[in-house]
Amino acid sequence: MAGTPQIHYKQNRLKQLRAFCHAAQTGSISEAAERLYLSQPTVSLQIQALERELETVLFERRGPKIKLTPEGETLYKLSQPLVEGMDKLQETFSASCGKLESGELNIAAGESTILYILPEPIRRFAERYPGIRVKLHNVTGRDGMAMLRADETDLAIGSMIEIPDDVTYQPVVNYAPVLITPKDHPLAKKEQIRLHDISPYGLILPPHHLSTWRMVDLVFKQHNASYNVTLEAGGWEVIKKYVEIGLGISIVTDVCLTGEEQVATIPLGDYFPDRSYGIVLRRGKFLSPQAKRFLEIVRELYN
């Protein structure tokens, strides 16, 4: 019809945007090609075609690594949800029709979250959606953030003190700080503890780069109290065992306490804040139907 503008279907646009998004996530043309099962020249050509069409430069090239330009950042925020939505169209459509029979759910979390917080949500999810394969990634907070940013996981569950601008954090449950000691320890008989009471005794803490150590350091400095770490150990189960056998005392959140431990517990809420655990998502992330269903279960359990 006269006067009707012609609409040209961009046949290769989705392929170009998919290549662009994977290159942005990995910071590498070769890694993007590996993910997409394409050759490196093919991915390079798709990105170059996109740059020509948009009349802009999307990446800064720095040797083998590439970094998004400001224009590339803008395009990534616009295109990533579209690409992910198209790639998961079948799953989303099935879920909208009341079916969620296949697919995969990736969750990044630390050991304490996996041991103490996730078992019941995972059990309920597996019961309701037996066709969905769940992959739990046992990672540190730093590695979990890297996985989120690279879209290697649907979501993360854990505790956050500082929240970067590119993620959202929704606390769902709080736990209280406590001091744990061997049952025959001099501090075990005290109902209330001052930080200066703790100073003479050796602490067992998680590794230095984790948030527990930073929080202990901050609180003791705020109250002009000293502390002494005599043993670094990864994981609350290990720390509890070493406290039980008399190798030191520790400051933990009561998420890890079952009541069966052979330790004395003394509240430290006068000094340390409650610690929240919650849902961590990359800002702008397209959530798969299975991720949405899992988050519904987490919220119904803990909210």
Chain segment 13-52, per-residue pLDDT in tens: 888 898 998 899 888 988 889 888 899 989 999 999 898 8
Q: What is the mean pLDDT of residues 145-153?
A: 89
User: Does pLDDT of 64 surpass 90?
Assistant: no
Which residues in the chain are classed under CATH 3.40.190.10? 100-173+276-302, 177-273
Q: Give the rounded distance of the alpha carbon of 119 from its chain centre.
A: 17
Chain segment 257-284, per-residue pLDDT in tens: 988 999 999 999 999 999 999 999 998 8
Instruction: State the fold for domain 13-79.
Output: Arc Repressor Mutant, subunit A (1.10.10)
More confident position, 12 or 133 = 133
Residue 157 pLDDT = 95
What is the spatial distance between Cα 113 and Cα 156, in angstroms, rounded to a whole number?
Answer: 10
What is the spatial distance between Cα 89 and Cα 289, in angstroms, rounded to a whole number?
Answer: 10
Q: What is the mean pLDDT of residues 112-120?
A: 93
What is the enclosing helix (H) or strand (E) of 116?
helix 111-116
Residue 2 pLDDT = 45
Q: What is the mean pLDDT of residues 64-84?
A: 87
User: Does pLDDT of 191 surpass 90?
Assistant: no
Which residues in the chain are classed under CATH 1.10.10.10? 13-79
- pTM score, whole prediction: 0.68
Top-tier CATH class for 100-173+276-302: alpha beta
Average pLDDT, the chain: 88
Top-tier CATH class for 177-273: alpha beta
Identity of residue 203: L
Tell me if 178 sits within 8 A of 257, measured CB to CB: yes
Q: What is the mean pLDDT of residues 195-206?
A: 94
Helix axes 40-54, 13-26, angle to 10 degrees: 110
